[in-house]
Amino acid sequence: MKFLFDLLPVILFFAAYKLAGAQPEASHAFAAQWLGDGIDVAQAPILIATAVAIVATFAQIAIVWGKHRKVDTMLWVSLAIIVVFGGATLFFHNPTFIKWKPTALYWLFGAVLIGSATLFRRNLIRKMLEAQIQLPDEVWTRLNLAWAGFFVGMGLLNLYVAYSFSEEAWVNFKLFGGMGLMLAFVLGQGFYLSRHIEEEKN
């Protein structure tokens, strides 16, 4: 359930885009009413979906705060990025900004992992996982680099899809491609770690 909750803004973005695309005239009228004139019919779905994602992220934070009275830093960072890039898309009626949003978030995660390890000698992946598993120092280092590399690669892949394929293909990739690749990476990491865990036991 937590996994789906974390994906809530992305899922609602996808659903809003598909629903708006299925009713172009009504979507165009709605977008023009709330975002001003000068919006093309083809722009309405991505603008509506962006607005939904911003509202969903605010709602996500409100729910987390209501339950735990605190919000993880990364959730605040995600909110800031969706407000900046999503807000620019709504203000300028330009989907380019929202298409860059996943890349900005991925690259920020990668930079934080690399920067923390390089500048402060803090392995954030180790900090998150060492209570559950014990691994040699070199394995933690590789794991941190693997996650950083994954985020950098995902940021590049997002831009490739955004600029090489249709807008609808990018929206589909944003949900299914991103989720699928993340799942595949986590599973691959699990197989890698299981080998070292067995070695530690022996």
Q: Select the more confidently predicted residue: 139 or 173.
A: 173
How far is the CA of 74 from the CAs of 18, 47, 70, 77, 103, in angstroms? 28, 24, 12, 5, 15
What span, in angstroms and rounded, lies between the C-alpha atoms of 83 and 97? 11
Considering only CA atoms, which of 107, 46, 62, 63 is closest in space to residue 81?
Answer: 107
Averaged pLDDT, 120-143:
89
Domain limits, the chain = 1-94, 95-202
Instruction: Report the first-to-last Cα separation within the chain, whole angstroms.
Output: 35
pLDDT tens digits for 69-96? 999 888 999 999 999 999 999 999 999 9
Averaged pLDDT, 162-174:
97
Please provide the average confidence, as pLDDT, over all residues in the chain.
91
Considering only CA atoms, which of 93, 109, 88, 200 is closest in space to residue 151?
Answer: 109
Judge whether residue 135 has pLDDT over 90: no
Percent of the chain with pLDDT over 90: 76
Amino acid 199: pLDDT = 52
Percent of the chain with pLDDT over 70: 95
Confidence band (pLDDT; 50, 70, 90) for 29?
A: very high
Confidence band (pLDDT; 50, 70, 90) for 1?
A: low
Q: Which amino acid is at 106?
A: Y
